[in-house]
Structure formats: structure tokens, C-alpha cells
């Protein structure tokens, strides 16, 4: 499997700011090629790569100007080795988090999914979230969590993922968010999915059903959107004036929604 991905961000900036991009494919990808460039007012600037506690690659710079553009391209030839699961993961991704209030949703989860476990549970949660929510672009706020999404009955990919994660954690299933490139997604954008730990591995739950899970390419992993945002700004005022994402794969395969599929 060969996947080719690109990202372009066009940002307006007022004042000095520390920018953190999380757009590069995750550690361990079998990269055939990779490049990133950042321009501030047309001039190339140095970017520092850091790795956070979840293993995500962050690209950080201090910018002072009016216009910032970021371009990223990677070709990934092959599949990731699936990372080992440690004891810390199984604690971190069971706890409630900012956008995944599993404690508040525990009665709902217990009532809807009693007696289910493993693959049947993941399928049931995916189908239930897909049935309860309507995908509506622009319908949610950046501060919306799983509870507000559940009450509002609509959202975008991060909202579908947050609700899935919260329900699974409420059932004592470790669950986390993964930001991904998603070949086949339309309209093309950054995408977010849930990963749940069952039967000794992490498996994708994507209640949006908008792209084949087999070809998804991991960018970042975390408790929720707070850990996986593609851009974070500390300082001056920032506007997102342009966003372009592409993701292609040489072999889509088929996804009937019933299989256990890992991010590879």
C-alpha cells in the first residue's frame, strides 16, 4: 500500500506567536519521502521537531509577521508496525477527559450496550452513534464535548469520535482519538476517528463511515481533540485563511464496517 498525502495552511497573523503544527505522519511510518516548509511573510523559517508524551511529532516555530504558510508532503510506502500497548495507555485512555465525559455518559452506555464486549461492542457503538448523530459541517463549536454532541444530535468527525470514545470508556474499554489522513474522504479534510482497545489491540471505530478504514494514515494520537489539534497558537491573533488537504492510496480495498481494522 502506497499513500501520498499533502497539507497546505495559509494563516493570517497579528503580533508574535508560537505556532505548533501537528500535520506530519506519525513516528514509525515507512516513509519513501517527506518534506515540510514554513514561510513567514515569504521567508523560510526554521522549525523545531518535538515528540510529545503520546509519541506525536510536533513542529514548532516562533513567528512574527502577517502571513504564515505551511506546506507538507509525504509518501508512505507500506504499513506501520502496530505499536505495543503499555499499562499507562490502559489507564490514560480509560479516564474521562476534556471532550470525552465518560462519567456523565455512563448511564447511557450501560443502558444501551449491556452484555456486549469485544468486536460486537465496537460494531454496536459505531452503529448507535451513526444512528443518533447527523453529520453537519460547521455545526459544532471547538469547545463542544461528547455530552453536548449527544444532546445536539449533530456534529463533524471529531464529535462522532468523542461520543464513541466516551461511551466506550464508560464501559471500561480504553479508547482514544486518532487524527488521520483519510484517502476517499469527501470533501477532503483532516479526519478524526476513535480507537478502542479490545482483544489485545487497538481497533478503529469510525461512526461517520466517510472513508475506508484500511487506508487511514495516522498523524497523531491522544485523549481527545485537545491532544490532536493540527494547529495550536500561543500568542498573537491568528486566522485560518486557507486549508487544503489531499490523501491518495494505490489500493482502497473494501470496508463493510464489520471487520476489526487497525491503523497501519
Q: What is the pLDDT of residue 81?
A: 79
pLDDT value at residue 256: 76
Residues 180 and 239 in one domain: no
Same domain, 31 and 103: no
Same domain, 237 and 221: no
Is 110 among the domain residues?
yes
Sequential DSSP letters for 185-215: -SS---EEEEEEEETTEEEEE-TT--S-GGG
Q: Any idea what the CATH number is for the domain that residue 9 is in?
A: 2.60.40.2250
Residue 71 lies inside a defined structural domain of this protein: yes
Low-confidence ranges of the chain (pLDDT < 50): none
Q: Same domain, yes or no, for 146 and 61?
A: no
Q: 153 and 61: one domain?
A: no
In a domain, 65, yes or no: yes
- What is the b/e burial string over 214-237, where b = at least 16 CB atoms within 10 angstroms of the residue's CB? bbbbbbbbbbbbebbbbbebeebe
**So what's the pLDDT on residue 238?**
93
- Whether residues 70 and 154 fall in one domain: no
pLDDT at position 248: 96
Structural domain containing residue 145: 87-227
The CATH number given to whatever domain includes residue 105 is 3.10.620.30
Amino acid at each position: 500500500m502506497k499513500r501520498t498525502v499533502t497539507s497546505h495552511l495559509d494563516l493570517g497573523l497579528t503580533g508574535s506567536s508560537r505556532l505548533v503544527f501537528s500535520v506530519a505522519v506519525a513516528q514509525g511510518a515507512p516513509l519513501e519521502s517527506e518534506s515540510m516548509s514554513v514561510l513567514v511573510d515569504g521567508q523560510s523559517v526554521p522549525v523545531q521537531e518535538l515528540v510529545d508524551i503520546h509519541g506525536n511529532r510536533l513542529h514548532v516555530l516562533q513567528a512574527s509577521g502577517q502571513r504564515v504558510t505551511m506546506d507538507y508532503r509525504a509518501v508512505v510506502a507500506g504499513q506501520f508496525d502496530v505499536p505495543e500497548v503499555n499499562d499507562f495507555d490502559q489507564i490514560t485512555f480509560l479516564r474521562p477527559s476534556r471532550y470525552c465525559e465518560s462519567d456523565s455518559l455512563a448511564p447511557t452506555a450501560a443502558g444501551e450496550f449491556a452484555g456486549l464486549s469485544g468486536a460486537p461492542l465496537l460494531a454496536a457503538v459505531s452503529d448507535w452513534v451513526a444512528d443518533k448523530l447527523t453529520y453537519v459541517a460547521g455545526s459544532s463549536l471547538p469547545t463542544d464535548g461528547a455530552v453536548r454532541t449527544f444532546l445536539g444530535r449533530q456534529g463533524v468527525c471529531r464529535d462522532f469520535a468523542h461520543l464513541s470514545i466516551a461511551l466506550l470508556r464508560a464501559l471500561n474499554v480504553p479508547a482514544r482519538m486518532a487524527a488521520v489522513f483519510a484517502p476517499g474522504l469527501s470533501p477532503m479534510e483532516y479526519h478524526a476517528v476513535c480507537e478502542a482497545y479490545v482483544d489485545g489491540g487497538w481497533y478503529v471505530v469510525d461512526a461517520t463511515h466517510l472513508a475506508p478504514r484500511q487506508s487511514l494514515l495516522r498523524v497523531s494520537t491522544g485523549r481527545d481533540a485537545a491532544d490532536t489539534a493540527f494547529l495550536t497558537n500561543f500568542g498573537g491573533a491568528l486566522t485560518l485563511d486557507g486549508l487544503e488537504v489531499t490523501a491518495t492510496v494505490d489500493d482502497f480495498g473494501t470496508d463493510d464496517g464489520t471487520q476489526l481494522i487497525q491503523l497501519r
